[in-house]
């Protein structure tokens, strides 16, 4: 018996804790794959081929722990916005005057301060109702706002104090009267941001596999628990199992992605002109950000990009640059489905001076561009018709970014 006990002790002492393996991309395009041993706001340590390498936080672009796409559970109809910009998709919400519990699934919930909540949308709305709802969220208010969904589908609002939220109703204090309002009658609630609320600068945006997006900082990799611990920008402590973490996206002050900018102008022109044709196809053929216009991720050759643009001919994008950038870096290639049909001319101008011009006729013809844009204040990108008119033209610009 003593020998068995000693053997078990020896076995327990030699158990090796598996370290998470991740794909790490730096802002200069360098890609690493290895075991992550340390994650902090200041740096990340990754072991590649037995060699530990520390990467400073300002050099990080992304850390991908899981290449599967985030999937919001079908039953998670509630959208919770926090004051730091985090967005959660919840199955249920319980909130009192001081604390809130956001339930993501049967085995997963997060406890937050109630002051962290900015708004809670209880159901999916029609396009018009959603526009009205978003307008209420953006407008100034002197108190909390109860956002009512009328039987007609229209949106109405009433200011007061939200005292409690549970799975059945919202307790609303209006002029001293406590009124329980059933969730079925509500589009959502907007909560007044406390004047004393402090929002810290976060290190990155963390996306988990349930589709929740967290503004995150103060990381700790808990190897024994196989979890990633962090705080929101509001100071709420969160712990996620590593198997639930999809990616960490860093926002370097030295890098700006074109897909995160709103162009000064974006114009698509069909080869066959006519108001009816343009009106019907404008939305369908408009530039698409961070995914392919044909659906799915941006894929150039065998490489998948999480950031980028998907453009059809003829598209002209113009950006007004207010900061001093040194270079424009991107990977350009036709979508795989255009093989044998696609043919475009790619033209990039800086202050009306040509920086790049060439034709691309096959998905295997991939261009890695790094263009000098020092002093440029107006940048334009044109995807023009090629030899096949506009039939089958779909150009991907992967990881298109401006670098200071």
In terms of domains, do 56 and 87 share one? no
pLDDT at position 8 = 47
Helix (H, G, I), strand (E, B) or coil at 19: coil
Question: Which two three-digit tokens encode residue 45?
Answer: 């340590």
Same domain (yes/no): 346, 397: yes
pLDDT value at residue 272: 56
Residue pointed to by tokens 């096949």: 388
**Residues 241-263: tens digit of each pLDDT:** 999 999 998 876 678 889 988 89
pLDDT of residue 77: 95
| pLDDT at residue 388, rounded to an integer | 62
Owning domain of residue 386: 255-403
Same domain, yes or no, for 105 and 170? yes
List, for the chain, all residue ranges whose pLDDT scores fall below the cut of 70: 1-17, 252-253, 271-284, 340, 388-392
pLDDT at 390: 52
Helices assigned H by DSSP within 200-353: 275-281
Which residues have C-beta within 8 Å of that of residue 71, sequence separation ≥ 6? 209, 210, 211
Looking at the structure of the chain, the number of domains it has is 3
What was the pLDDT predicted at 12? 44
pTM above 0.75, yes or no: no
For residues 261 and 396, membership in a common domain is answered with yes
What is the number of helices (H) and of strands (E) in the chain? 3, 34
pLDDT of residue 287: 87
Domain match, 245 and 266 both: no
Whether 195 is in a domain gets the answer no
Residue 72 in domain: no
Q: Which two tokens stand for residue 225?
A: 């628990």
Instruction: Specify whether 271 is located in the same domain as 383.
Output: yes
* Same domain, residue pair 384 and 263: yes
Provide the CATH number for the domain around residue 42: 2.30.30
Return the CATH number at 392: 2.60.120.1060
Q: Looking at residue 222, what DSSP letter applies?
A: E
**Separation of alpha carbons 357 and 9, rounded Å:** 68
Number of Cβ within a 10 Å radius of residue 265? 10
Separation CA 349–CA 372 (nearest Å): 11
* 258 touches 402 (CB < 8 A): yes
- Answer whether 40's CB lies under 8 Å from 219's CB: yes
Q: What is the pLDDT of residues 316-351, one digit of tens each?
A: 999 999 878 899 999 999 988 877 677 889 999 999
Q: How far apart are CA 23 and CA 36, in angstroms?
A: 9
């Amino acid at each position: 018996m003593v020998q068995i006990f000693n053997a078990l002790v020896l076995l327990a002492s030699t158990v090796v804790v598996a370290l998470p393996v991740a794909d790490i991309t730096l802002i200069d395009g360098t890609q690493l794959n290895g075991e992550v041993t340390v994650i902090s706001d200041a740096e990340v340590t990754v072991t590649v081929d037995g060699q530990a390498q520390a990467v400073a936080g300002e050099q990080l672009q992304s850390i991908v722990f899981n290449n599967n796409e985030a999937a919001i559970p079908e039953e998670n109809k509630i959208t919770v916005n926090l004051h730091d910009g985090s967005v959660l998709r919840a199955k249920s919400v319980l909130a009192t005057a001081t604390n809130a519990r956001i339930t993501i699934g049967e085995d997963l919930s997060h406890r937050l301060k109630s002051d962290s909540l900015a708004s809670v949308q209880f159901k999916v709305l029609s396009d018009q109702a959603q526009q009205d709802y978003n307008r209420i969220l953006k407008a100034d208010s002197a108190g909390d706002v109860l956002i009512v969904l009328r039987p007609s589908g229209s949106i109405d609002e009433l200011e007061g104090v939200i005292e409690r939220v549970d799975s059945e109703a919202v307790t609303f204090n209006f002029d001293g009267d406590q009124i329980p309002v059933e969730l079925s009658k509500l589009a959502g609630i907007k909560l007044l941001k406390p004047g004393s609320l402090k929002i810290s600068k976060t290190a990155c945006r963390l996306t988990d596999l349930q589709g929740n997006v967290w503004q995150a900082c103060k990381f700790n990799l808990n190897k024994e628990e196989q979890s990633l611990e962090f705080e929101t920008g509001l100071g709420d402590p969160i712990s996620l199992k590593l198997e639930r973490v999809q990616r960490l996206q860093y926002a370097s002050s030295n890098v700006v992605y074109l897909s995160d900018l709103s162009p000064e102008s974006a114009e698509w022109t069909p080869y066959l002109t006519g108001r009816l044709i343009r009106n019907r196809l404008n939305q369908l053929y408009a530039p698409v950000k961070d995914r392919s216009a044909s659906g799915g991720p941006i894929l150039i050759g065998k490489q998948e990009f999480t950031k980028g643009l998907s453009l059809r001919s003829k598209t002209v994008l113009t950006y007004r640059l207010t900061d001093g950038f040194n270079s424009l870096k991107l990977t350009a290639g036709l979508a795989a489905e255009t093989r044998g049909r696609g043919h475009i001319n790619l033209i990039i101008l800086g202050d009306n001076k040509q920086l790049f011009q060439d034709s691309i006729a096959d998905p295997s013809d991939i261009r890695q561009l790094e263009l000098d844009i020092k002093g440029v204040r107006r940048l334009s990108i044109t995807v023009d018709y090629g030899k096949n008119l506009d039939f089958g033209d779909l150009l991907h610009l992967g990881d298109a970014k401006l670098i200071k």
